[in-house]
Amino acid sequence: MDAAFDIVIVGAGMAGASLAAAIGARANARVLLLEAEEHPGYHATGRSAAFWTESYGGPGVKPLTTASGPLLRDLGVLTPRGALTIGRAGQEGEVAAFAARYRAVGVEIDLLDRAGIEARVPNLRADWTSGALEPSTCDIDVAALHQHYLGQAHRHGVPLWCRAGLLAAERTTSGWSLALADGRRVTAGVLVNAAGAWADPVARLAGLGPLGIAPYRRTVAQLAVEGPVPDDLPLVLDVAGCFYFKPESGRLWLSPHDETPSAPCDAAPEEIDVALAVDRFEQVVDWPVRRVEHRWAGLRSFAPDRLPVYGFAPQDAAFFWFAGQGGFGIQTAPAAADLAARLLMGEGHGGVDPAAYSPARFG
Ligand SMILES: Cc1cc2nc3c(=O)[nH]c(=O)nc-3n(C[C@H](O)[C@H](O)[C@H](O)COP(=O)(O)OP(=O)(O)OC[C@H]3O[C@@H](n4cnc5c(N)ncnc54)[C@H](O)[C@@H]3O)c2cc1C
């Protein structure tokens, strides 16, 4: 006989793991967490740039990021970093508009002149003249957070089956009959789609229409540069969105802020994107690059309006979306998981209004 579960979560990245922990903590439902790979966290979750910043992802994502802050702080996974969004001569208006946009939704941001940004970014090239400093930005210990959720799910009795990708989902009168890559079959009352870049393919397996959740590749390179990287260097972002970099254990993590459409896959960095990143970096600071030590890429998956998708499918109350976490799925994880668990359990919503994230918005 097939093993029977009330809720089966597909995908054990940050989304699936955090939701498994949240549901496990509040219900005595039988929950199963499925992962296609040998190890959870192999895809987007294991490849992030690991920061928490309230201005990232847009004002629509900010409530989730802000609500997650105290929980992440309590878990001890945040380290203060600060973020500095900089502009060249002539871009002062864009920097001011960026600051105004996020101040309007309650983010603390200070405008800095050339002297102010130079004091924080030594050897800054002359054409960078203004900046917006967001002091509350932190680094996140992503691996510790993911392990925390997996551990919590385990303690609440949620099994994690790896190398057990969902291959087929057949609708039954009471839910789903699921076929897994390891040959097992299980039944589920509710199927939760936390499959990251594979969110639309998983919906298709279940016979539902895709929402247009599209994966985009983003590249990160780890650089060794001449001279020491200041420990207190903030995360430095370009107001025009062409790069960001931050220190990491005496090295720099640098991204060209690329966003190349991709099929769901094991994303790999392209040399051209790494070269582009280094070229842009050299236009910002006079810190000769000694070598690129390491490079990686991951997929950030966005719904068409770039807001996440949390909630039951309007066409099928046994299918729940927990997808479209884009470039903010780590920093929003605690609030997103709490909100999704409340929706799944039929509880009232907490501090964050779920309406903007409902799959019903796609008609
Ligand atoms: C370069 C980069 C930098 C980033 N920086 C940040 C940052 O600084 N801060 C931040 O908050 N976010 C950041 N992000 C975004 C963040 O990493 C993602 O939003 C988050 O990891 C998404 O988590 P997820 O669980 O939805 O996806 P994933 O981690 O990709 O997990 C989905 C899982 O589903 C599994 N799966 C797929 N199909 C099936 C199936 N059929 N059966 C079973 N399992 C399946 C996959 O194997 C995968 O493990 C960054 C992302 C990238 C790529």
Q: Is the CB of 295 under 6 A from ligand 1?
A: no
Which CATH code of 3.50.50.60, 3.30.70.1060, 3.90.1150.10, 3.30.300.30 fits the domain covering 3-46+142-211+305-362? 3.50.50.60
The predicted-structure confidence for 106-138, as pLDDT tens digits, reads as follows 999 999 999 999 999 999 999 999 999 999 999
Given a cut of 80, whether residue 158 has pLDDT beyond it is: yes
Is 70 exceeded by the pLDDT of residue 27?
no
Structure confidence by residue, pLDDT tens digits, 44-73: 999 999 999 999 999 999 999 999 999 999
Q: What is the 3-state secondary structure (H, E, C) of the chain?
A: CCEEEEEEEECCCHHHHHHHHHHHHHCCCCEEEECCCCCCCCCHHHHCCCEECCCCCCCCCHHHHHHHHHHHHHHCCEEECCEEEEEECCCHHHHHHHHHHHHCCCCCCEEECHHHHHHHCCCECCCEEEEEEECCCEEECHHHHHHHHHHHHHHCCCCEECCCCEEEEEEECCEEEEEECCCCEEEEEEEEECCHHHHHHHHHHCCCCCCCCEEEEEEEEEEEECCCCCCCCCEEEECCCCCEEEEECCEEEEECCCCEECCCCCCCCCHHHHHHHHHHHHCCECCCEEEEEEEEEEEEEECCCCCCEEEEECCEEEEEEEECCCCCCCCCHHHHHHHHHHHHHCCCCCCCCCHHHCHHHHC
Domain ranges of the chain: 3-46+142-211+305-362, 83-135+214-302
Q: What per-residue confidence (pLDDT) applies to 52?
A: 98
Mean pLDDT across the chain, nearest whole number? Answer: 96
pLDDT tens digits, one per residue of 74-104: 999 999 999 999 999 999 999 999 999 999 9
Closest protein CA for atom 35 of ligand 1? 11
- Residue 72 beta carbon below 6 angstroms from any ligand 1 atom: no
Residue 16 Cβ contacting ligand 1 at under 6 Å? yes
In which band, very low, low, confident or very high, does the pLDDT at 227 lie, cut at 50, 70 and 90? confident
pLDDT > 90 fraction of the chain, expressed in percent and rounded: 95
1 vs 163, higher pLDDT: 163
| pTM (predicted TM-score) | 0.98
Third-level CATH fold of 83-135+214-302: D-Amino Acid Oxidase; Chain A, domain 2 (3.30.9)
Structure confidence at residue 26 (pLDDT): 79
- Whether the CB of 196 sits within 6 Å of ligand 1: yes
